[in-house]
Amino acid sequence: MIKKTALISLLLLTKILSANAGDLSYSAELTLLSDSAVTIEAADIGTDMDANSDSAVAFMFGSEYQFNKKLSVSYEFYNEGYQDLSKNDTQYHSLNASYDRNIGPLDFFLNASHMDMTLDGDDFLVMDLIIPSLSYYFDSGIYLNLSHTWIDKSFDKSFDESNDFDAKNNATGITAYYFFANSKAYISLNYTQGEESANSDNNDYDEDTTTLAFQYPVSTGDYTSKFNISYSARQRDYAKVTDTVNIKSREERDRLKVYLDTELNDNWALRATYDFKDRDSNLATSTYESHYFGFRVTYNN
């Protein structure tokens, strides 16, 4: 099913490109990573944390076609393969469309995406996503962004025969940026409130996330680099769960992420990442820490 969907996506994109004159770009990424607690976030897979440490190689290829300054379409392919835990190997194809325009002093942006994902070579998840947002930039260097994210998730019956994980997710967030150092550096604060309504009451949750981030340019010899550090606190409440002994009813997650981006030239870039997550839950199997290390090479034409 996923191969057929991917083929249709590619044929559709090829037909669009052949019928219009515009700007075509593409990019590729290769990432080497190590994760002390491999998880599949979409379905909360990965509860045996003592045995879920592994390394992986990930590859991404993307292509974007810009019709004009307002409208673009893109295609993305991603493959992640683990050294030992092949059950967590993921692959996806996604087709995206974006629209951007100014409405007076406001910037309106709309993104729509369709994604097909496999897990260990089997059909796993189909996801549709829509994100509208409004932004406003103040002369003082403050930038505000208000966005809403709507997600529809449908899992393959080979993974979720009773469709308990199928869900609709809605989240609204506001982010304030303060730019300085000639707009090359910023501090940002984000607050997002969301909810997920699944077919099973045990998988319904309300969620609040607060994120503080800082980015600043740094000198790395002859190259241009950006240092970014962020901290986020997320709380999930599974209010409809009654069996709190055997089923997750709450989760708090603290996350510290640090990365360094380095542009080698107009085409090549590097990123080194460290991502720490500390989860606490009413279940011992969902209470753990994880450490992620990644090194990524990116090419843009």
| Amino acid 47: pLDDT | 46
Domain limits at 282? 2-300
Segment holding 46, helix H or strand E: none
* CATH number of domain containing 33: 2.40.160.40
The 3-state DSSP composition of the chain as helix, strand, coil percent (nearest 5) reads 10, 65, 25
β-pair type (54-66, 23-35): antiparallel
How far, in Å, CA of 259 to CA of 133, rounded?
A: 26
Q: Are the C-beta atoms of 110 and 150 separated by less than 8 Å?
A: no
Q: What is the DSSP string of 251-298?
A: EEEEEEEEEEEEE-SSSEEEEEEEEEEEEEESSGGG-EEEEEEEEEEE
Question: What's the pTM?
Answer: 0.88
How far, in Å, CA of 85 to CA of 99, rounded?
A: 39
Per-residue pLDDT of the chain (301 residues; tens, 9 = 90+): 544 554 455 545 555 554 555 799 999 999 999 999 888 776 665 545 556 899 999 999 999 999 998 999 999 999 999 999 888 899 999 999 999 999 999 999 999 999 999 999 999 999 999 999 999 999 888 999 999 999 999 999 888 778 888 999 999 999 999 999 999 999 999 999 999 999 999 999 999 999 999 999 998 788 889 999 999 999 999 999 999 999 999 999 999 999 999 999 999 999 999 999 999 999 988 888 999 999 999 999 9
Q: Are the C-beta atoms of 135 and 173 separated by less than 8 Å?
A: no
What domain count does the chain have?
1
